[in-house]
Amino acid sequence: MSNPEPRIGVIALQGDFEAHLAVLAELGVEGIAVRLPQHLHTVDGIILPGGESTTIGKLMIEYGLDDVLQRKIQAGVPIWGTCAGLILLAKETDNALLGQPLLASMDIRVRRNAFGSQRESFETDVSVPVLGEAPFHALFIRGPVVEAVGPGVEVLATLDDGAIVAVRQGTLLGTAFHPEVAQIQGRRDTRFHHYFLRIVQSIKL
């Protein structure tokens, strides 16, 4: 009997959640827009999208999602944070705004807006060996950077200057850029979503 496709919840409080849902739909995977705790009951993996980390964090508390997400993390449910989502997963942030809520689950320290304001947004090719030989075209929009990692954290990608921009710790995945809008040879590059789905499937087996 084949293993059924996973159901992926995308936190849909603010930010770039629609693009993640579009990628999942393209891959034939059911994506759930998560706004309330009950939307998380039957998901196999969760994506925390890019956006404004302080706003998303405060809305998670307002809608009662923070406690449920913590329980999911403790239960080993795979969670992928992109940009703002990476900040929310981090145990430490060097320059968080006052009152910044964090899920504080990944043994990393991050710095918000590490590359400057939105006007300093940029894109570059990044080597990500776990995705294969072809570089990943990464878009950074007010992106964070991982300044330090704990012993259980695998560094998946760095920039040419050594800045860490993709990490994994067990079932937790984090990227400082926006894979949901990446392209390769004029089409959507879904390799990071495939990689996350493989993590999810490995838990379901």
Whether residue 83 lies in the annotated active site: yes
- Decide if pLDDT at 155 tops 80: yes
pLDDT value, residue 104: 87
Question: Does residue 108 surpass a pLDDT of 70?
Answer: yes
Which residue among 20, 39, 83, 193 is the active-site one? 83
Give the Cα separation of 92 and 130 in Å (integer): 26
In a domain, 106, yes or no: yes
- Does residue 34 register a pLDDT over 50? yes
In a domain, 2, yes or no: no
Of 151, 147, 3, 10, nearest to 87 by C-alpha is: 147
Q: Is 193 designated active site?
A: no
Catalytic-role residue among 26, 30, 39, 180: 180
d(CA 57, CA 61): 7
**Number of folded domains that form the chain:** 1
Domain carrying residue 17 = 7-204
Confidence of residue 1 (pLDDT cuts 50, 70, 90): very low
Is 180 known to be catalytic?
yes
Confidence of residue 46 (pLDDT cuts 50, 70, 90): very high
Nearest CA-CA partner of 115 in 92, 143, 95, 137 = 143
Average pLDDT over residues 57-82: 94
pLDDT, average across residues 154-183: 96
Q: How confident is the model at residue 102 (pLDDT cuts 50, 70, 90)?
A: confident
For residue 26, being part of any structural domain is answered with yes
Counting residues of the chain whose pLDDT is more than 90, the rounded percentage is: 75
Q: What average pLDDT does this structure show over 83-90?
A: 94
Is residue 24 within 8 Å of residue 30, measured between CB atoms?
A: yes
Residue 1 lies in a domain: no
pLDDT at 98 over 90: no
Q: What is the C-alpha separation between 168 and 176, in angstroms, rounded?
A: 12
Residue 196 lies in a domain: yes
List the CATH number of the domain containing 148.
3.40.50.880
Mean confidence (pLDDT) of the chain? 91
Inform me whether the pLDDT recorded for 114 exceeds 90: no
